[in-house]
Amino acid sequence: MRVAINLLTENPEAPSGAHWCWTRVVPEMAKRLEYDEELHLLVSPRSRHLYPADGPNVFHITYPWSNERRIPRTVSEHVYTPVRLPLSHIDIFATLMAPIVRVPRSVVMHMKTMHAFTTPDSITPLVRAYRRMSYPRSVRVADAIVVNSESLRSEVEHYLNVDARKLRLVYEAIDHDLFKPGDADAARARVASYGVTRPFALFVSTLWPYKNCDGLLRAWALAGEELAGRQLVVVGRGDADYVAGLRSLAIDLGIAADVLFTGGIPLEDTVPFYQAADVLVYPSFNETFGLPILEAMACGCPVVTSDTSSMPEVAAGAAILSNPKEPASIARAIVDALGAGRDQLRDKGIRRAGEFTWGAMAASTLDVYREVAEHRRHRRAI
């Protein structure tokens, strides 16, 4: 079995969470390969260093571009792939989108989001149109479709004409070497350099409207005296106009002095924020997974999140849920999380986060590839 994994959708100048995931999962898969199994990583000259070929059965296939040049990269994926993969005798192509030109190989589609349908304003019109055009064709030609939550499975089935028998659930994971409990006093000293001066509640996410930071601000204002003496720390970057609107809303609500916007920070720098925070509040309207929930839990930070889409599934009783459409519900949940049951909530979260490991994700992903490879061998034998 030879599997080609498409890693070209990452911009090497600004790697995303997907890059972080693959750099951890590929080495774990490499440990589990049988003697006749190989992984071939699709990289560009500029992204090759991000994905070392760890292990004797891991190789590179070099394309001209990755996502630092999105349009040439996309074109090359569609027209070069059907020519290039047969040269390496690839059996399975693991990718986000199936090429327009038919690939004479089995395709495993890794679905990460359905934002083009569920939260269309969170992506640009060109990307939205491309995904809406490509997803129906991709799910039709794919031999298997990997989804990261039952919630995403439901969305795929709702918006796309898909054979449900193709869908395979593989939960994502977090890096437990990075995200773990730590000394709270040391963590508070580290986050002080960002302007954190008081006990605080934390929000971590890219600042898109569907992440509902404005709802959190309204909830903070409603909680009033019950949160007196605390800061609300917002970690994440976003569209300049939207962030300016959030700052204006904080002023209008009379809470600007209590709200700190740090902007975007490196992933590893979020760890002391989780370790020092009294609670993470993640009131998103829609998530296909919601990694910050598990990152916070793994660091020993209690979590308040939404009662919709994947968030109850990920939290699994280890977080306090609220209605993201009702600031009063979010406010009550924050106050409850800071109450007498905080330590119990913290312990539940640590146990829940411990279930999501790179090893488990790698093993489940390999199982999907092996299943598809077996079906491919069976078809060829007929």
Nearest to 58 by CA among 19, 92, 93, 31: 31
Residues 153-158: what's their mean pLDDT?
A: 96
Residue 327 has pLDDT above 80, yes or no: yes
- What is the chain's mean pLDDT, rounded? 94
The pLDDT assigned to 376 comes to 79
Residues 109-127: what's their mean pLDDT?
A: 91
pTM: 0.92
Residue 324 has pLDDT above 90, yes or no: yes
pLDDT digit string (tens) for 253-267? 999 999 999 999 988
**Cα 168 → chain centroid:** 17
**Long-range contacts formed by 182-189: CB under 8 A, 24+ apart:** 182/271, 182/272, 182/275, 182/299, 182/300, 183/275, 184/275, 184/276, 186/272, 187/271, 187/272, 187/273, 187/275, 187/276, 188/272, 188/276
Residue 378 has pLDDT above 90, yes or no: no
Residue 231 has pLDDT above 90, yes or no: yes
> CA 362, CA 353: separation in Å to the nearest integer?
17
The pLDDT assigned to 200 comes to 97
> CA 140, CA 142: separation in Å to the nearest integer?
6
pLDDT digit string (tens) for 63-79? 999 999 999 999 999 99
Residues 191-218: what's their mean pLDDT?
A: 96
* Range in 103-112, 149-158, 213-222, 331-340 the model is least confident about: 103-112
The pLDDT assigned to 382 comes to 65
pLDDT digit string (tens) for 3-59? 999 999 988 887 777 778 899 999 999 999 999 999 999 999 999 999 998 889 999
The pLDDT assigned to 103 comes to 81
Residue 215 has pLDDT above 90, yes or no: yes
pLDDT digit string (tens) for 232-261? 999 999 888 999 999 999 999 999 999 999
The pLDDT assigned to 359 comes to 96
Side by side, the strands of the sheet bearing 320-322 are 259-263, 231-235, 200-204, 279-282, 303-306, 320-322
The pLDDT assigned to 313 comes to 97
